[in-house]
A and B are shown apart, each in its own frame.
Chain A
Amino acid sequence: MEQLIELSMAFARMYSQIDVVIAILVGTCVGLLLGAIPGLTSTVGIVLLIPFTFYMSPLAAISMVYAVHKGGTYGGSIPAILLNTPGTPAAACTQQDGYPLTQQGKQGKALKTAVVASAIGDFLSDLVLIFATVYIANLVWAFGPVEIAAVLFFAITIIGTVAGKSVTKGLISAFVGLLLATVGLDPMGGTPRLAFGLVEFQKGFDLVALLVGIFIFSEVLVQLETAIIRQNVRETHVTKRKLKAEDQKLTLKEFRAILPTIFRSYTIGQIIGVIPGIGAAITPWVSYGQAKSFSKHPEEYGKGSLEGIAAAEAANNAVCGANMMPLLTLGIPGSTDAALIMGVFLIHGYQFGPMIFQEQPHLVYGVFAAGLIAIFLYFILGYFLAERIGRIIRFFPAQIIYPLVLITSFLGAYAGNSSLFDTGAMVVFGVLGYGMRKNGFSLPALVIAFMLGYKFEFNLRQALRISDGDFLIFLTSPISLICILFALGLTVYTFKKRSMETE
């Protein structure tokens, strides 16, 4: 009930916060468009908008990047359906049934199914986020340094283990992130570490420079190498036949038929999305497999099944709200986008944890309201304009877009501290990111571990000081023990499973 009042007040405040409403609109449109351009995910959209957030109110800034996250997650389905090229990794599953429908001249029906399933999945997951998170946050109040360190160890290990194709490489990525986080001042005593006498190093690596380098500069290098979009767009032929009006609508009967699939897939997305690191790329495949096994017409899957599209889209958008739950309660980002949203919170001086619900209720519920508005906006835009967006992106000149993105990324890295050193660091991180991508290392694992490094070290050392350096203290608390056992168990299980797959 309290949440409902806070949420209503947050909506009421939107009347006097026109900047927030504009930010949500811009965020949704940017997310939708960048999600729809293959190669430019919502992650790229958020990173590109980060320099703008420096000059905005905290609520407007966070709402904008949250809207990019939501719009981008849905937007990836548009090229997956129309061009047979998923705009984001999360939309790869949508392609299975979306493109066959386009080949049958039923792209309108496919696009409408995608947007309806996305909006319902996203909306339900936001409701759980709004009404359940505060209770989880209350449980977290009892956590001390031992539990916090153990939970962070769990998160870093899980992200490293499941985020990439190789467990070892994922864990190496996470520990490289932790090592990079140690550059700068020691969190307990303030001693400079690995600074080489340079003031720039004493501050530690700039978060924005790291994000821009790892995600955008490396992406531009990848695009330069492969020129994927141009090839794919040239190879793709959209049906020129005359389209029937009834094939472009989602009828009430069809909607009723896909509704159980949407609810089932939403539930899968909600559960998997809460676990840090797994994210929206894997969830649709799990949900797609489940939907197929429950379906009365499994033979239609892969040939243009509306259920298939609904399963993939409801699940990948359900992750949007779900992976905000560990972020808001424990300060653990569930995905790369959540990590970036966390970055914007940090830039504006907000720390995560259960106290945020008591100290900043206006901000938290304002962001929740922004999420619901973003869902409404992308539903309207997607339902009525998805085909036009598809037509626009088909003619996007990649050879012009990427150099412009590159310039914006330079400014993004420069803007935080007006420092050319940070810009240089961004290029170095970009080269590192490119090397990691090409060799199967995990970028999200590195970035998320980098962001959690400071907090992890602080709590770990505090816990060890309490125990006079005895690591067994982590086995004395039940929460800590469970986290450590889960982390180790899942690592060993995933390692064995992937080893068997290799063989």
Chain B
Amino acid sequence: MNKNAVISGVIFVLSLIVFFVLIPQQVYEREGATMGPQFFPKMVTIVLAALSLLLFVQSIFIGNLSKRGSYKKFQIKPYYFSLFLLVLFSFLYIAAMGILGFLVSTVLFLSATLMLFGEKRFLVVGSISVVGSLTIFVVFGNFLNLLMPSGLFSPWFEFLLY
């Protein structure tokens, strides 16, 4: 099965789920109402389902052209693990901001992403993480008055904000 066929299949199934399950359950509409709140989302999902079918047909056609190099199969690439780690770190960072506070969680997240991007020098990682996080904290906190997420360690650094 080629890549586009799988993608079109996923979009088609999702469109059906949205049309038959999510919209009836999550969009309240009076019985017999025309042009009510369900009208537009339903119209969009119908078009999406139709387009996904068209993509499926095209992908089958392109699949037959595999000799010309248009056929693309799913492959597990070695960099997928790094991408997965970055997404995982991002969600952990969001969770950590509410527990540890902005500054400490940012230092940890920045260190992790710097290493993920290939920075091997620990001194550089440490200094960039600390200086970068502090700069962002001070600039956004003081000049833009942004209320940073607070947590366990936030009181330690309140003196940096005026």
Contact B35 A469 (CB under 8 A): yes
Contact A420 B79 (CB under 8 A): no
Q: Known A175-B44, A188-B37, A439-B3; judge A418-B147 contact (CB<8 A).
A: yes
A-B contact pairs, 21 of them (CB 8 A): A51-B144, A52-B144, A166-B58, A168-B55, A169-B55, A182-B44, A193-B41, A217-B90, A224-B79, A224-B86, A400-B119, A402-B113, A403-B110, A403-B117, A404-B110, A404-B128, A404-B132, A406-B113, A411-B140, A430-B90, A469-B35
| B:143-158 near A, CB below 8 Å | 144-147, 149
Cβ–Cβ < 8 Å partners of A169 in chain B? 55
Q: Report A237 CB to chain B, min CB distance, Å.
A: 22
B16 CB–A CB distance under 8 Å: no
Q: Name 13 extra pairs, CB < 8 A, besides A172-B55, A399-B118, A404-B110.
A: A52-B144, A55-B145, A175-B44, A403-B128, A407-B106, A414-B146, A420-B98, A427-B94, A430-B87, A434-B83, A439-B4, A461-B35, A461-B40
| B:49-99 near A, CB below 8 Å | 51-52, 54-55, 58, 62, 65, 70, 79, 82-83, 86-87, 90-91, 93-94, 97-98
| Chain B binding surface, main DSSP class | helix
Question: How far is it, in angstroms, between the C-alpha of A47 and the C-alpha of B48 when the chains are bound?
Answer: 28
Most A CB within 10 A of own CB, among B22, B29, B41 = B41
Contact of B110 among A51, A55, A407 (CB under 8 A): A407
Q: Which residue of B lies closest to A188 (CB)?
A: B37
Q: Known A186-B37, A193-B37; judge A407-B45 contact (CB<8 A).
A: no
A312 CB–B CB distance under 8 Å: no
Question: How far is it, in angstroms, between the C-alpha of A398 and the C-alpha of B117 when the chains are bound?
Answer: 8
Binary contact track B116-142/A, C-beta < 8 Å → 1, others 0: 111100001000100011001000100
Contact A172 B44 (CB under 8 A): no
Contact of B44 among A178, A424, A465 (CB under 8 A): A178
Q: Which residue of B lies closest to A230 (CB)?
A: B118
A355 CB–B CB distance under 8 Å: no
Cβ–Cβ < 8 Å partners of A430 in chain B? 87, 90
| B:1-43 near A, CB below 8 Å | 3-4, 7, 11, 18, 22-23, 26-29, 34-37, 39-41
Question: How far is it, in angstroms, between the C-alpha of A179 and the C-alpha of B58 when the chains are bound?
Answer: 23
B47 CB–A CB distance under 8 Å: yes
Cβ–Cβ < 8 Å partners of A473 in chain B? none
Cβ–Cβ < 8 Å partners of A191 in chain B? 27-29, 37
Q: Known A168-B54, A172-B55, A418-B147; judge A224-B116 contact (CB<8 A).
A: yes
Q: Which residue of A lies closest to B144 (CB)?
A: A55
Binary contact track A379-405/B, C-beta < 8 Å → 1, others 0: 000000000000000000011101110
Binary contact track A160-199/B, C-beta < 8 Å → 1, others 0: 0000001011011001101100100010110111111000
B114 CB–A CB distance under 8 Å: yes
Question: How far is it, in angstroms, between the C-alpha of A469 and the C-alpha of B34 when the chains are bound?
Answer: 8
Cβ–Cβ < 8 Å partners of A408 in chain B? 136
7 smallest CB-CB distances across A and B, nearest first, come from A186-B37, A403-B113, A399-B117, A182-B41, A191-B37, A457-B40, A193-B27
A481 CB–B CB distance under 8 Å: no
Contact A194 B114 (CB under 8 A): no
Cβ–Cβ < 8 Å partners of B23 in chain A? 194
Contact of B11 among A172, A188, A420, A465 (CB under 8 A): A172
Q: Which residue of B lies closest to A400 (CB)?
A: B128
Q: Which residue of A lies closest to B128 (CB)?
A: A400
Question: How far is it, in angstroms, between the C-alpha of A427 and the C-alpha of B89 when the chains are bound?
Answer: 11
| Chain A binding surface, main DSSP class | helix
Q: Report B134 CB to chain A, min CB distance, Å.
A: 12
Contact of A431 among B36, B87, B140, B147 (CB under 8 A): B87
Q: Report A51 CB to chain B, min CB distance, Å.
A: 7
Q: Which residue of B lies closest to A431 (CB)?
A: B87
Cβ–Cβ < 8 Å partners of A85 in chain B? none
Contact B36 A189 (CB under 8 A): yes
Contact B98 A172 (CB under 8 A): no
A460 CB–B CB distance under 8 Å: yes
Cβ–Cβ < 8 Å partners of A188 in chain B? 37
A410 CB–B CB distance under 8 Å: yes
Question: How far is it, in angstroms, between the C-alpha of A195 and the C-alpha of B22 when the chains are bound?
Answer: 10
Contact A172 B48 (CB under 8 A): yes
Question: How far is it, in angstroms, between the C-alpha of A35 and the C-alpha of B35 when the chains are bound?
Answer: 45
Contact A195 B149 (CB under 8 A): no
Question: How far is it, in angstroms, between the C-alpha of A52 and the C-alpha of B140 when the chains are bound?
Answer: 9
A125 CB–B CB distance under 8 Å: no
Cβ–Cβ < 8 Å partners of A410 in chain B? 90, 93-94
Q: Which residue of A lies closest to B116 (CB)?
A: A224
Q: Report B141 CB to chain A, min CB distance, Å.
A: 10
Q: Known A172-B55, A176-B48, A403-B113; judge A221-B83 contact (CB<8 A).
A: yes
Question: How far is it, in angstroms, between the C-alpha of A402 and the C-alpha of B48 when the chains are bound?
Answer: 34
Q: Report A463 CB to chain B, min CB distance, Å.
A: 10
Cβ–Cβ < 8 Å partners of A420 in chain B? 94, 97-98, 149
Cβ–Cβ < 8 Å partners of A460 in chain B? 40
Cβ–Cβ < 8 Å partners of B22 in chain A? 194
Q: Known A221-B86, A411-B140; judge A193-B26 contact (CB<8 A).
A: yes
Question: How far is it, in angstroms, between the C-alpha of A195 and the C-alpha of B58 when the chains are bound?
Answer: 34
Q: Report B80 CB to chain A, min CB distance, Å.
A: 9
Q: Which residue of A lies closest to B80 (CB)?
A: A225
Contact B40 A220 (CB under 8 A): no
Question: How far is it, in angstroms, between the C-alpha of A217 and the C-alpha of B86 when the chains are bound?
Answer: 10
Most A CB within 10 A of own CB, among B39, B117, B133 = B117
